[in-house]
Structure formats: structure tokens, C-alpha cells
Amino acid sequence: MNLEISIGDLQVRIFKLRLTNILVLMLFNSLFISAIFAQQKTRNPKSEIRNFLTCPIIRDSKTFPCWLVEYNGETYYLGQQGRSGSLFYPPQLKHQVLVEGRIKDGSRLCGGIVLEPVTISVMPELDLSCNTLLPAQDGLEPPPPIPYPENAPFADDTRNFTILFDFDSDFLSLHKTRIVGEVVRIAKVNGLKNIVIKTFRGTTLLSNGQKLIEKEEIAELRAGKLYDIFEGLGFAKEHIKLAIKTNPEKADGIIDVGKRRAEILIF
């Protein structure tokens, strides 16, 4: 099977993928993703899920500013200001934010119902109406800063890696480049020269029933970026295989975050 892939202006690249390899890879990865989200799915009845697009709100406090959103007359707490190493990356005023979260237990922080886990994606286009900065108010403070993730290395026998992306984004933040670094480290440790990068285009089912589909070229952009990085980090061109899924993934409103992804296999 030949795949012809045009990635923006990176010119045409031709990668030969054996059909059997693709089928095995797809089967394996389907099982892998299903396993990751099966547990979450059972814990997440749909009534607790909140997926919506809205303007973020920042509230000052005596300690750290906290980030909130309003949806259907209710205020939700997303997280607090952190640093570039923090797991939660806050939204941006002047931009709408896609919130994909689950109500934790009904508790409130900074006046908002806590969503946890929560994933946010900053929408790229400007929306100047998103400009609410609330003053500090006694009793409305976020919890103490969450410690940085420990970033323990992956086990040396790991072969499959998943990188999740923000909606419509191919940007690799600090946490994501760390996974890339681990892929390269483990490949070197084990003398693995082959890498398969499979990228996807996501859809999010919003709580109001609308579907939000990522831009058409996003899977190609993600593949192109990862290809360049892995080539730059020492994988030979002929050992890098790309599989780009341009059709949008089906959305269920529960595990849509996990579908905006790149799956990486080394062998």
C-alpha cells in the first residue's frame, strides 16, 4: 500500500506501509485507546459531563488568580494560574475556550463548581467580548498550587505512546515534548529503529448536542510536525511511517478528548 501525503508545503512524501502492518497497528491501537477510556467511561455518566464553548473568566484572589467559566447559568471552576511546568494550562481572555470536563463531586472553588478532570482548548480566533476579569473577593480563593507532575520516565519496555492535542492544534507543549523525548530515549535503549506515527482528527460532542469538528488538515499537520521532530532526533527517514486519518473521529461527548491524538509505536 502506498500513501501519498501532502503536508502543507513540506512537499509530497511517499511512504510505503505494508497493509498487514497497518491492520495490526490499527487493531492494537483501537484496543489500547478503548482500554484507556473504558474505565473513565464507566465513571462518567453523561449527566456529569460538561462540554461547551464559552468565554473564560479570570478572578483575582489573595493568593492565585483562578479561572472560571459560565454555562447555562452556572459557574464552573477550571483551575488556577500556574507555571509553564504545571499540568493545567489556563485559558486566554480575548479567546473563547472549549471546555471538556466532568463535575468532580459538586464542590466549589472560587465560586465555581469544580470540573475535574477538565481539558481546555483555546480557540485560535479572536473574540474581544471575552474580557472578564473579576476582582478578588474574600472566601473565593483557589487551593494551594498543585505540585508539578513528577514526570517519572516511562518503563523501558513501553512501545506505544499517545500524545493528546488541544482542539484544532498541533502545538507540542512542554508535557508533550517530554513524551517525544521518552520515545526517543526508549528507542535508543532498546535499539529500536522503526517508528509508526498515526494521527487523528477529532470531533467533540457538545453538551447542547452540537458537534465541533477539527479542521480538515489537522491530522496532516500533527503528522508533519512529529515526522520532522523524530527525523531530527535521529530516526532515519526510511524507518518513519506515517498513517494519517483525515476523517473525523466519531464523537460520544465522553472520551472525545482522547481522540485528538497521535499514536506512536516503536519497534
Partner 1 sequence: MQRSFRIFIKNMKIKTFVLHVIFLVGLLSWVSDNENSWIQPGKGGILPAEVAFSNPNGTLGYVNVDGDINMEGHPFFEPLGTNGRACVSCHQPKDAMSVSTQSLQQRWNETQGQDPIFAAIDGSNNPKLPQQLESSHSLLLKRGLFRISLPWPVKTDNGKTIKPEFSIEVVSDPTGVNVDPELGLENGNISVFRRPRSVANMTYVMSPDPVFNIKTGTLAVTDPETGKVVGMNMMADSRHYTQKQQALDAYFGHLQGHNTLTDVQLKQILDFQNKLFMAQSHDKWGGKLVENGEPAGLGPHNMKAGKVHILANNNRDPIFHWFNNWKNKETMPQSLNAEQKDFRESVARGNDIFMFREFWIRDATHINSLGLGNPVRRSCATCHNGQMTAQDLAPGWVDLGTTTYPTWTENHLANQKSDLPIFKCTCNKNAAPHPFLGRVIYTTDPGRALISGKCIDIGSIVMQQFRGLSARAPYFVNGSAKTLHELVDYYDRRFDIKYTEQEKTDLVNFLSVL
Angle at CA 20, nearest 5°, toward 16 and 23? 105
Q: Is 91 in the site for partner 1 (CB under 8 A)?
A: yes
Single-letter amino acid code for the residue at 23:
L
Q: Is 172 in the site for partner 1 (CB under 8 A)?
A: yes
Question: Which residues have a Cβ under 8 Å from the Cβ of 150 and sit 6 or more positions away?
Answer: none
Q: Which stretch binds partner 1 (CB under 8 A): 76-84, 139-147, 203-211, 247-255?
A: 76-84
Closest CB to partner 1 among residues 24, 133: 133
Instruction: Provide the 3-class DSSP secondary structure of residue 35.
Output: helix
Q: Is 58 in the site for partner 1 (CB under 8 A)?
A: yes
Q: Is 232 in the site for partner 1 (CB under 8 A)?
A: yes
Nearest-angstrom CA–CA distance, 256 and 215: 15
Q: Is 13 in the site for partner 1 (CB under 8 A)?
A: no
Q: Is 246 in the site for partner 1 (CB under 8 A)?
A: no
C-alpha cell of residue 267: 519497534
Q: Which stretch binds partner 1 (CB under 8 A): 37-45, 89-97, 98-106, 250-258?
A: 89-97
Q: Is 247 in the site for partner 1 (CB under 8 A)?
A: no
Q: Is 60 in the site for partner 1 (CB under 8 A)?
A: yes
Tracing cell 477539527 back to the chain, one arrives at 214
Tracing cell 472520551 back to the chain, one arrives at 255
Binding test (CB under 8 A) with partner 1, winner from 48, 181, 213, 245: 181
Cβ atoms of residues 116 and 77 within 8 Å: no
Q: Looking only at Cα atoms, what is the longest distance across the chain?
A: 64
Q: How far is the CB of 22 from partner 1 (least distance, A)?
A: 27
Binding test (CB under 8 A) with partner 1, winner from 30, 177, 208, 247: 177
Nearest-angstrom CA–CA distance, 160 and 29: 8
Candidates 245, 176, 178, 181; CA nearest to 214 is: 245
Nearest-angstrom CA–CA distance, 135 and 149: 30
**207 to 226, contacts with partner 1 by CB under 8 A?**
217, 225
Q: How far is the CB of 86 from partner 1 (least distance, A)?
A: 8
Binding test (CB under 8 A) with partner 1, winner from 104, 233, 239, 246: 233
Cβ atoms of residues 63 and 141 within 8 Å: yes
Closest CB to partner 1 among residues 27, 133: 133
Tracing cell 483555546 back to the chain, one arrives at 122
Q: Please tell me the number of Cα atoms within 13 Å of 114 on its side-chain side.
A: 15
The strand pair at 49-54 and 240-248 is best described as: unpaired
Binding test (CB under 8 A) with partner 1, winner from 179, 207, 229, 252: 229
Closest CB to partner 1 among residues 171, 236: 171
Q: Which stretch binds partner 1 (CB under 8 A): 21-29, 102-110, 166-174, 259-267?
A: 166-174
Instruction: Please give the residue ranges that form the binding site for partner 1 (CB under 8 A).
Output: 8-11, 58, 60, 64-65, 67, 81-84, 86, 89-95, 124-126, 133, 171-174, 176-177, 180-181, 217, 225, 228-229, 232-233
